Structure 1
Amino acid sequence: MHARAAAATTTALLGTSAFLLPISDASADVADERPSVIAHRGASAYAPENTLAAVDKAAELGIRWVENDVQRTKDGELVVIHDDNLKRTTDVEEIFPERAPWKVKDFTAAEIARLDAGSWFGPAYAGARVPTLEQYMDRVEGHHQKLLLEIKNPDLYPGIERQTLKVLSNEGWLDRQHVAGRLIVQSFSAASVRTVHDLKPAVKTGFLGTPSVAELAGYAAFTDQINPSYRSLSMGYVASVHAFTGPHGRPLEVFTWTLNDADTARRVAGYGVDGIITNTPDVVRDALSGA
């Protein structure tokens, strides 16, 4: 492991922001080219997904954008985790064997903070934790990165849109500079995306899915992006999305997910997408830059 990676991992395991690796201006310039490259759940091919270590790894690779997933604990804390249960990415079965099916919403933030969210990925990450949204935002801000935040399973968490926006506000992410180019809030739920737009119209939003072309005009009233799986994409569909103007007076964008190899990245980039969400952001970036 390189020294920078080791330091970043140590930082994540200790839960401190004492040693951060800001992305250089040169890296930021490369990463801001179109299509943007977004590290899915952080650089999740190289570090445990949705952990601070994955954010650190994305920064080490010079990746400007990171993506994460937000859910809510029993006592109302927002935490960064993809699944609605804790089984796949933590040792919850060992620590709380009697608490099946180990749903995030059935555990307090303090209980989740006890869990090991890194050992499943590899021994180097033993002791990594499920971060709170505040902890995650602090790390992203420390690296001067941009955030594509997914509100996960909003039907399980009434009011999570307003709560997420409150945390973002408290962390300083709803000021002009962040809203103008460093934050997008997305969801598979059109109702959730619409709620975010209604609550904070300045915030850029994305809908995860592939609406029909006939439905795009309706989506353009409240979302800035249509973000489909790369498997559902065509050049014609991307062009159709771009033909609509979103709520901020600009053409709708397309961020597609989740592709991890160079050939697919080059093919999908040829469709004219605006962003590619990937577990291997260095592979995709290098493929698009011709490296």
Structure 2
Amino acid sequence: MRTARIAAALLLALPLGVSTAAATTDDVDVIAHRGSSGVAPENTAAAVKAAIKQRADFVEIDVQRTKDGKLVNFHDCTLQRTTDVEERFPGRASYRVSDFTWAELRTLDAGSWFHDKFAGEQIISVSTVIGLVDGKTGLLAEISPCSHYEGLVDDFADELNAHAKYVDEALADQALAVQSFEVDDAKAFNQRMPKIPIGLLDADRPTEAELVALSTWADQVNPQWTVTDAALVNRVHQLGMDINVWTVNEPGTMRRMDELGVDGIITDFPQSLTQR
């Protein structure tokens, strides 16, 4: 491989049918999807800290930008699903993350939707995430595909350059990578920061032509697990790239992906793999 391998549960929060046990080898990286988002509200400090406690190899986050230029860890393009934004700011014309200032976002409750225990959890900045994972676990950062952003790649590269010591140490520990659904964004980031492993997310199975093209510049191909089989895993490896599959929450599927030889498993329940 030319790049590094990317890479006590709250039972009341586990969906029905999800076990807490899955046997895997030590070769697969456990990647906590939006933090340990099966047991804590996604992309919050609580979810990141839970993933670290459960000894996930990487925490996966989502990078967006506020109206006043702060980079934040949030998945959806809009705020309604996981915050009380409509109660705090009724009648706003738009509830996109990018239409709110950092100060406004900090007033939102990003935890109560998940469970009362997490009432008051806040949206956190990318800088805060870096502080939480630094020296403790790896970081896999997704550049948001929300189509209204311009310049987000450069802003994220600038943020990482502002944490140069962290970046150098994380790269030395093979504990940092970036991914995107957008080919142009992934290429642009690779041009800005070529030392950081870059991956392309894909909900569909990449074609042979796409894989060959990606192998000229990408370090990872990160497909949905439902389109992943032994032939795809083997071809990605033949082309010198790693493969991390998403989002795998059922123990039987975790074992199957591990048996295929994937490099990383992105999951809401890292404790199912780490047994921590």
Counterpart in the other structure of 1:117: 110
Moved over 4 A (4+): none
Aligned-residue CA RMSD (Å): 2.1
CA offsets, 1:182-217, max 9 Å, x none? 111000001100001111111100100132122211
Letter in 2 for 1:150: E
Deviation at 1:155, TM superposition (A): 3.5
Q: Taking structure 1 as reference, are residues 171 and 98 closer, same or farther at Cα in structure 2, changes over 3 Å only?
A: same
- Specify the SS of the correspondent of 1:135: helix
Q: Hey, what's the Cα distance between the residues in 1 that align with 2:194 and 2:146?
A: 19
Measure, in 2, the Cα distance between the counterparts of 1:175 and 1:57.
Answer: 23
1:82 correspondence with 2:79: no
Q: Aligned partners of 1:107 and 1:135: how far apart in 2?
A: 18
Answer whether contact 1:78 1:132 (CA < 8 A) is retained.
yes
| Cα contact 1:154–1:160 (8 A) shared by 2 | no
Q: Tell me the CA shift for residue 49 of structure 1.
A: 0.2
Alpha-carbon distance in structure 1 between the residues aligned to 2:25 and 2:90 = 45
Retained in 2: the 8 A contact 1:32–1:64?
A: no
Distance 1:125 1:235 in 2: 40
1:272 correspondence with 2:264: no
For 2:228, the equivalent position in structure 1 comes to 233
8 Å contact 2:25–2:258 — kept in the other structure?
A: no
Aligned 1:146-225 pairs, distance under 5 A: 146-153=138-145, 155-172=147-164, 175-180=167-172, 181-209=174-202, 210-225=205-220
* Closer/same/farther in 2, CA of residues 269 and 49 from structure 1, 3 Å limit: same
SS of the aligned residue for 2:124 comes to coil
Secondary structure at the aligned position of 1:198 is classed as: helix
Offset of 1:102 from its aligned partner?
Answer: 0.7
| Amino acid corresponding to residue 207 of structure 2 in structure 1 | S
Letter in 1 for 2:62: D
How far apart, CA to CA, are the structure 2 residues paired with 1:103 and 1:48?
Answer: 19
Q: Higher mean Cα deviation, 161-170 or 150-159? A: 150-159
Which of 237, 245, 248 aligns to 1:242? It is 237
CA distance in 1 between partners of 2:124 and 2:79 (Å): 13
* Per-residue Cα deviation, 1:223-269 (whole angstroms, up to 9, x for no partner): 1000000000010011111111xxxxxx2000000011211111111
Counterpart CA distance in 1 for 2:210 and 2:49 is 39
- Partner residue of 1:40 out of 23, 33, 36: 33
Distance 2:92 2:154 in 1: 29
CA offsets 1:28-54 (integer angstroms, 9 cap, x no match): xxx993210100000000000000100
- In structure 2, relative to structure 1, the CA distance for the partners of 1:173 and 1:155 (3 Å cut) is farther
Deviation at 1:60, TM superposition (A): 1.5
Aligned residues: percent identity? Answer: 39
How has the CA–CA distance of structure 1 residues 238 and 32 changed in structure 2, closer, same or farther, with 3 Å as cutoff? closer
Matches within 5 A, 1:249-260: 251-260=240-249
SS at match of 1:110: helix
Answer yes or no: is the 8 Å Cα contact 1:193–1:206 preserved in 2.
yes
Q: Deviations for 1:65-102, whole angstroms, at most 9, x for unmatched residues?
A: 11000111111111100000000010001000111441
Unmatched segments (≥5 aa) in structure 2: 1-7, 11-23
Report the Cα distance in structure 1 between the residues aligned to 2:171 and 2:25, rounded to whole angstroms: 16
CA separation of 1:140/1:172 partners in 2, compared to 1, >3 Å: closer, same or farther?
A: same
Higher RCO, 1 vs 2 (CA within 8 Å, ≥6 residues apart):
2
SS of equivalent residue, structure 2 residue 48? helix
